Structure 1
Amino acid sequence: MVPYPQPYPTYLTTEVMIFLFLSSERRQALQNVLSKLGMEEHRSQKLRLKDVLQISPENAKSWTPESLGDLPWHFLRKIMALNGMARNTSLDYMAPDYQQRSEDKEELNTDDSISCLSDANAMNPLDVLCAVLLCSDSFLQQEILSKMSMCQFALPLLLPALDTPKCTLMLWAMRDIVKKWRPHSLAESRGFREESLVLTKMPTISFVRLGSCSFSKSKLLNDVLSPSQQHHDFFIHRDMDSGHVLRNVSDGLVEISWYFPGRRGNLDLFLEPVAVINLHGDIEPHWLKFGFLTNVSCSVFIFVESVSEKNYLLLSALKESATKYYFIFNIPTGISSETQTFCDKLISELKLNKSQLLVKDSSQNKAKFVKKLQNLLGCIMKSSPKKINIEDMAVIARELGIQVDEDCKACQTGSKWAREIAAEIKDTGKYKKAMFRLQGDPWKKLAKVEKELCQMRRQGGIPSEKYRSQLKAELSELRAQQNKCDLTDGMTPGHSPSLSFVS
């Protein structure tokens, strides 16, 4: 593993103090967010999948959140239904009860109406996502990320250190995701390739920023990954609903999205799959995560708006890294003399060539800049031999001291059960017939009788009540046969001799 770039010495002298301060501040911010969302009890007693899938009159209603406490459940219900608006955290301030209260008063209190519309009563969608994942057990996390993938949302790769001393790589949470795509090599035969997402090796390109930036990096990435005239918001950005609200606990969240080819001819943006990683926040306070990205990526794009001496000292540490860096300079009002001076030093220090420097100014056409960036990514993918999957990333994360969710006891036990069961499967058809005895022929016969009981198509000259009684008797006989079947080892792994470790 290539050692990740170390910050300059002045950071090391105050590292412990900064860590203690940030840890205390982070814990307080988390407490405030969970309190507003009404999720404090689930910090220790995690939400489970069955809690979300419970059927109740509330689940059947189509409702919009009216308070911050509604946001987690709004997200969970919408994402389980594969609703593309699941990440929307806008509150319905003009709910019926609110309207009724307004009508009962001759004048609406101005202070109250303004406070309702202020950012104090809003929450960034990324904060809601982080809070929900923190309060969910590992299996619910897996289901959430699987549904988010189906909605083509960017997935959390590194969850910020909220309840843990280190950030967490979400490997187990992505285990259930399978992707299907058509590589360029199979375009003529119209074949497809299907593989588990965490096992698929592909070029990985990361995007980060240093300092503040007047335009949205995430929004630009959405444009880069979206086909022409088919815009999709993979990453949450500041121009989305509540996307401008200050991030309280999700600053430093690392998200990952993918592009998989599946069209024909020149309609694909890229000919092969590519992973795009986006670090939310400044790299300066998230140097460990940035170091992780330099190790897993074939190229890293750094967005900068100005370069001070402090920034120069930080970026000059990258000269020891083998990763290729690209700089996107955003210059809305022209470049300052200080920025120009340190940029020249940086170009010399890192031995950057012209292709590694991109300038974005206010006069530049947005579509042309996006096309230029797409072409550059295509060239990087062709020229770089480095390909990596999520499992490989987990190895690097452990070496850097980053936690991996799959290392917890519950995930390890579940993974062991799955491996034990899979080892027994030689022929899928025969295994299903032997282990799932209530399915197959018994289930077909039962379904056929139930269907006839509803349709009564084969009644003939038999009186209706007599025919119905015959069908019910046949139905009862089939149910009795099913009840005689004991649970097989495949249905009860804890009772299987090969899985005796459970007891």
Structure 2
Amino acid sequence: MSPGKFLQVGPPLKLHQDTSEKDLAYSFLHRLIMLDYRARYIPVEQDSLNVTCSKPVLDSDGNDSDESDLESFMSAGVGTNQPSQTHVHPMDVQMAVFHCSDNFLRQIMITKLSQCQYALPLLVPDPFTAEIECPLWAFRQITKTWKVTKGDSQATMKNIPICKAETPLVSFFRLGSLSVSKSQLMNSLINDRHSTFFHRHCPGSTKTRLLLDGVAEITWYCPAGKPGDAFNNCIAFCNLHGDAVMIEKQRDILMEKSSVNVVMVPNLQKDDGSRKIISALWKSKKPLICLLVDDDGAVESRKGKYKMGLKARNQADVSVELKRIIQGLLSSEDPSILKTTFQLETMMENSEIKVDESDNACQNGKSAAVTITNLFQNRDVSSIKDDFLSYQGHLWLKWCKANKELHRLTGNIENDKSKKERELTRIRGQQCDISCSELMRLFTKNLFILPPKDKEYFLKWTQILTDALSADCISSILQSYDNKWSEVMALRNNHDKSKHLEKMETELELLSKKLQSATFGLEHIFREMGQIYEAHKTKHGDNKSGNWCSYPKLAADLLISGHPLELLDGDAGHVPLRWISSVFDEVIRKLGDLKVFVLSVLGLQSSGKSTMMNSMFGLQFAVSAGRCTKGAFMQLVKMTEEVKKDIKFDYLLVVDTEGLRALELESTTLQHDNELATFVVGVGNMTLINIFGENPAEMQDILQIVVQASMRMKKIRLSPSCVFVHQNVTDVAAAEKNMDGRRRLQEKLDQMTQLAAKEEDCSSNCFGDVITFNIETDVKYFAQLWEGSPPMAPPNPGYSESIQELKAHILSKASASNGISLSHLKVHIQDLYTNSDSKFKNKEKINTSYVCFFHVK
């Protein structure tokens, strides 16, 4: 299975109905993508029942019946017909999906398992060849965040790709058969309210399993920097499933890699097969903890070797004692105790392990990406864009400014228009005079010559390596920005208007620009391709000499294969119309003039927009604290044949946008937000207006523009629709309790529509006149994302249910739409952007009657 075949928009899942065994894999993966950790516990509809018959118990009416009934009741057998139900072990489903997926789908699967706070397969025996595989590539997208505390000092935040993290490794092994669950005990150390490791008492567990024995799973405990943390630093925990006496290769690999080895045995017998293993561990300098399941002895220790009896002991007490021992061993300064750390990337060094990254296509892609990142050696990250991506530098920003002025001319329009057009042509000519950088030559060359699979690896490796370049720098700048912002807010709250405040605000602005310069990723390289094409297309027209004329073909291939493409440049606030139009032309040439339904999302910074879209459709828009998406990106998602029976379009075109009111843009945020909101509402057949919490008062300015933008769409006979999504709602009855709030929301929207109608010279009286919106059905309430406090909290199952309900609502509304053809969409984008640029009015110019407040209780 591959992402392209699997990640299509299918019918909504029936979350509360049993699933047929033949649909288990599909249901498991889709629920996992929605961040529903209950994907492991899917109720199974039996395809067949094996019924074992026994003699029935006969009723008797005599006076002696009570005695005989008692004897019958106390008998060993159950005297009724009883179906013997055998279903697939939940972990066999997970491992079967893993074995049947290609490396890219495995990467998505492992990333989602990590987000669900589940353990991840580290060593996996091939069910056919018995080779030991390590899916290192599958871990590449995972980044862990934690806070380190030392004594009474302030916690230090760490944000590291998990493949690069060096942490202690604590490995657990079972020797022989045990009466207690090793996995359950491990869960009590990591998160006693969540089954990180699947164990025998989990729902759906069976005595037989086919694919789990021999699998070593790993997870990381990430402290929050709080007093209640189980450990004060990040620790990796590894669990070898099955009897380690029989599973020699995985056992030896893990024991060599581990910082602490924890062995669980029934007891220590001289003739026991486990004695040799424990003896070797005893002689090693590495710490050893031996847990005796059938022994009730107290804790004993000697030079980093511990022995503890578990019989008749409360698991909570055992967990507390184990945490204390592990923490003590890892922080010990005793020179006789060998201290080691573990890093995932070192798995490549073991010749007994088949690592997925040794695949030729993966190595070819990595080699090509490394050639590019080698260009940046010994360079300041903030200078990379200036040095290698010149087309999107100051000339591009200058061109955008002149272009906006062209569309907002007043006075002697014809004369000024001619001057501006000459200025635009001159700037484009200056761009063309810039030679293409070595970075762009290498990047586009690889896109031209690499086979499809190698190219996919190349793009992923380039993204991974470029993100790693700027990660540390951005983290440092954000820390400085947060500190400076706190100081500025403190001065403002004290109504301080001194020069000191002005100085602090200037420093804040400089940090914002520094952050913008240091942010460098794959999207900037694609933007450069677009700018090179735009500049040369403007200057040379249809003269197709040079590689630049083939760039739209490359971008179209990427868009079709599921890669996001920048629609609106977030730094310049501009849509590269020639570039977008040419890319759409190439998509039409490859797929035909297909119809799409454009779904856009609008909301405040860090309100969960990208997480929502990723969970709903299996997309991979960037997510983390603070603003990640900048501008607007579009991604094509194919509809399944089953869904196509009820709709009139072929693809969903999802448009994700940067957060409104981003702190980094505070000085220009109003104008920027208004333009972005106008474009996003205008381009979408449907817009999701995302609000964090139940009160949309903070969205009042944006909603003004939503109303005006919708009215302009109505003028050109387009009728988009919108759905309000209130995220992080804690009260499950919020929808019922907010009837009055929704009524007042409707009133305010209607008032704004009437005021906007006067500005736009329209006759609309209510919000529903200009945009398709039903206050009863188009306001959705989402449960909070996390079930507890991050970084160890799993996602809230209620959140995934909300995602599923919203997806069903979108498809239901979309079924009434004809969508829009790509040829019409490219014209619409051009008209929309040009018109909104010329007609747009910022807040200062909008009728002051618009300033109204929302209050939803």
**TM-score by shorter chain over 0.5:** yes
Q: Distance in 1 between matches of 2:345 and 2:264?
A: 28
Deviations 1:216-275 (A, max 9, x none): 00000101112xxx51110000000122331212111100111011142x2111111000
Deviations 1:185-221 (A, max 9, x none): 5985555211100100011010001100000000001
Q: Distance in 2 between matches of 1:149 and 1:373?
A: 24
- Partner in structure 1 of residue 260 of structure 2: 299
Q: Which deviates more from structure 2 when the two are superposed, residues 378-387 or residues 455-464? A: 455-464
Q: Distance in 2 between matches of 1:88 and 1:377?
A: 31
What letter is aligned with 1:374?
K
What's the secondary structure of 2:170's corresponding residue? strand
- Partner in structure 1 of residue 362 of structure 2: 411
Structure 1: which 4+ aligned runs deviate by more than 6 Å?
110-113
Query: How big is the alpha-carbon RMSD for the aligned residues of Structure 1 and Structure 2?
Result: 3.6
- Partner in structure 1 of residue 528 of structure 2: 434
- Partner in structure 2 of residue 253 of structure 1: 215
- Partner in structure 2 of residue 476 of structure 1: 827
- Partner in structure 1 of residue 330 of structure 2: 381
1:403: Cα distance to partner? 0.9
Alpha carbons 2:214, 2:247 under 8 Å: kept:
yes
Question: What aligned pairs does 1:334-349 form with structure 2 within 5 A after superposition?
Answer: none
Match of 1:447 among 680, 687, 694: 680
Alpha carbons 2:188, 2:319 under 8 Å: kept:
yes
Deviations 1:351-405 (A, max 9, x none): 966951111112x23221110001011012212631121012332x32xx11111
What's the secondary structure of 1:182's corresponding residue? strand
Q: Residues 77 and 245 from structure 1, CA distance in 2 versus in 1: closer, same or farther, beyond 3 angstroms?
A: farther
What's the secondary structure of 1:326's corresponding residue? strand
Alpha carbons 1:186, 1:192 under 8 Å: kept:
no
1:299: Cα distance to partner? 1.4
Match of 1:222 among 187, 200, 217: 187
Q: Distance in 2 between matches of 1:247 and 1:480?
A: 60
What letter is aligned with 1:434?
E
Deviations 1:304-331 (A, max 9, x none): 1033514224543446644332211011
Q: Residues 86 and 423 from structure 1, CA distance in 2 versus in 1: closer, same or farther, beyond 3 angstroms?
A: farther
- Partner in structure 1 of residue 230 of structure 2: 269
Alpha carbons 1:181, 1:194 under 8 Å: kept:
yes
What's the secondary structure of 1:192's corresponding residue? strand
Q: Residues 391 and 132 from structure 1, CA distance in 2 versus in 1: closer, same or farther, beyond 3 angstroms?
A: same
- Partner in structure 2 of residue 147 of structure 1: 112
Alpha carbons 1:218, 1:236 under 8 Å: kept:
yes
Q: Residues 177 and 111 from structure 1, CA distance in 2 versus in 1: closer, same or farther, beyond 3 angstroms?
A: farther
List runs of 5+ in structure 2 lacking aligned partners.
Answer: 50-77, 333-337, 377-383, 386-518, 532-566, 576-631, 633-675, 684-705, 713-752, 765-769, 772-823, 834-857
Q: Residues 475 and 461 from structure 1, CA distance in 2 versus in 1: closer, same or farther, beyond 3 angstroms?
A: farther
What letter is aligned with 1:479?
Q
List runs of 5+ in structure 1 lacking aligned partners.
Answer: 1-46, 99-109, 336-346, 483-503
Q: Distance in 2 between matches of 1:420 and 1:111?
A: 73
Alpha carbons 2:13, 2:27 under 8 Å: kept:
no
2:307 corresponds to 1:357 = yes
What's the secondary structure of 2:193's corresponding residue? coil
What's the secondary structure of 2:41's corresponding residue? coil
What letter is aligned with 2:147?
R
- Partner in structure 2 of residue 284 of structure 1: 245
- Partner in structure 2 of residue 500 of structure 1: none
Q: Distance in 1 between matches of 2:314 and 2:21?
A: 39
Q: Distance in 2 between matches of 1:439 and 1:275?
A: 41
Match of 1:62 among 3, 9, 15: 15
- Partner in structure 1 of residue 31 of structure 2: 78
Q: Distance in 2 between matches of 1:448 and 1:89?
A: 38
Q: Distance in 2 between matches of 1:157 and 1:366?
A: 27
What's the secondary structure of 2:310's corresponding residue? strand
Q: Distance in 2 between matches of 1:143 and 1:125?
A: 19
Q: Residues 368 and 113 from structure 1, CA distance in 2 versus in 1: closer, same or farther, beyond 3 angstroms?
A: same
Q: Distance in 2 between matches of 1:128 and 1:114?
A: 26
1:481: Cα distance to partner? 11
Q: Residues 414 and 86 from structure 1, CA distance in 2 versus in 1: closer, same or farther, beyond 3 angstroms?
A: farther
Question: What aligned pairs does 1:156-195 form with structure 2 within 5 A after superposition?
Answer: 156-185=121-150, 189=154, 191-195=156-160
TM-score, normalisation: structure 2: 0.42
Q: Distance in 1 between matches of 2:156 and 2:280?
A: 46
Q: Distance in 2 between matches of 1:315 and 1:161?
A: 28
What's the secondary structure of 1:374's corresponding residue? helix
2:189 corresponds to 1:235 = no
Q: Which has the larger radius of gyration?
A: 2
What letter is aligned with 1:177?
I
TM-score, normalisation: structure 1: 0.69
Q: Distance in 2 between matches of 1:72 and 1:403?
A: 25
Match of 1:330 among 293, 298, 313: 293
Number of residues of Structure 1 aligned to a counterpart in Structure 2: 392
What's the secondary structure of 1:54's corresponding residue? coil
Q: Distance in 2 between matches of 1:66 and 1:178?
A: 33
Q: Identity across aligned pairs (percent)? A: 26
Alpha carbons 2:261, 2:288 under 8 Å: kept:
yes
Q: Distance in 2 between matches of 1:139 and 1:190?
A: 36
Q: Distance in 1 between matches of 2:171 and 2:287?
A: 11
1:150: Cα distance to partner? 0.4
What's the secondary structure of 1:309's corresponding residue? coil
2:271 corresponds to 1:309 = yes
What letter is aligned with 1:279?
L
Alpha carbons 1:208, 1:283 under 8 Å: kept:
yes
- Partner in structure 2 of residue 137 of structure 1: 102
What's the secondary structure of 1:237's corresponding residue? coil
Alpha carbons 2:187, 2:194 under 8 Å: kept:
yes
Q: Residues 416 and 213 from structure 1, CA distance in 2 versus in 1: closer, same or farther, beyond 3 angstroms?
A: same
Q: Residues 89 and 159 from structure 1, CA distance in 2 versus in 1: closer, same or farther, beyond 3 angstroms?
A: farther
Q: Residues 69 and 192 from structure 1, CA distance in 2 versus in 1: closer, same or farther, beyond 3 angstroms?
A: same
- Partner in structure 2 of residue 88 of structure 1: 41
What's the secondary structure of 2:40's corresponding residue? coil
Deviations 1:277-299 (A, max 9, x none): 00111112211111101111011
Q: Distance in 1 between matches of 2:825 and 2:94?
A: 51
1:179: Cα distance to partner? 0.9
Q: Distance in 1 between matches of 2:159 and 2:311?
A: 41
Alpha carbons 1:161, 1:167 under 8 Å: kept:
yes
Q: Distance in 2 between matches of 1:217 and 1:422?
A: 44
Alpha carbons 1:296, 1:393 under 8 Å: kept:
no
1:130: Cα distance to partner? 1.4
Alpha carbons 2:264, 2:293 under 8 Å: kept:
yes
Q: Which deviates more from structure 2 when the two are superposed, residues 252-261 or residues 180-189? A: 180-189
Alpha carbons 1:52, 1:76 under 8 Å: kept:
no
